[in-house]
Structures are given as C-alpha cells and as structure tokens.
Amino acid sequence: MSTVRSAAVSTWRFVVGDDWRIALGVVLALAFTAVLASTSLAAWWAMPVTVVGVLALSLRRAARRR
C-alpha cells in the first residue's frame, strides 16, 4: 500500500470512526456555524447544541440495538 493511500485510509478511519452519521453531523454543524458566523447572528451556540443532539441520536440508536 502506498504511503499516500495509507495516510488517506488512516485519516478516514480517524474522522469517520465507527459511525459515519456522527461525522456527517459534525461536518454539517461546522457548515451551519460558518454560515451563522458570516451573518450578524451569534454563532457560538451552534456547535454545543449540535453535539448534544448528535450524541442523543447516537445513544438512542445504540439503545435500540440492544
């Protein structure tokens, strides 16, 4: 395996991990925060609210699997 491919796979595994939905939620939250920051609205609250929401959804999904 080439060094570049190995680095790309390692980065993907680090960012996405076990649940691609959490990674997608974080990316969408970052985009939403960037949009808010470009307006006159306060953007500090967007990431904490999103993290709590994504965590709650992840825990709900995990509880249903049991």
Q: What angle do CA 25, 58, 66 make, to 5 degrees?
A: 155
pLDDT tens per residue, range 15-38: 777 788 888 998 899 999 999 999
Q: What are phi and psi of 11, to 5 degrees?
A: -65, -45
Structure confidence at residue 1 as a pLDDT band (50, 70, 90): low
More confident residue, 30 or 12: 30
> Model pTM greater than 0.95?
no
pLDDT over 80 at 65, yes or no? yes
Q: What is the mean pLDDT of the chain?
A: 89
46 CB neighbour count, 10 Å cutoff: 19
- Short-list 20, 25, 14, CA closest to 51: 25
Predicted pLDDT of residue 17: 79
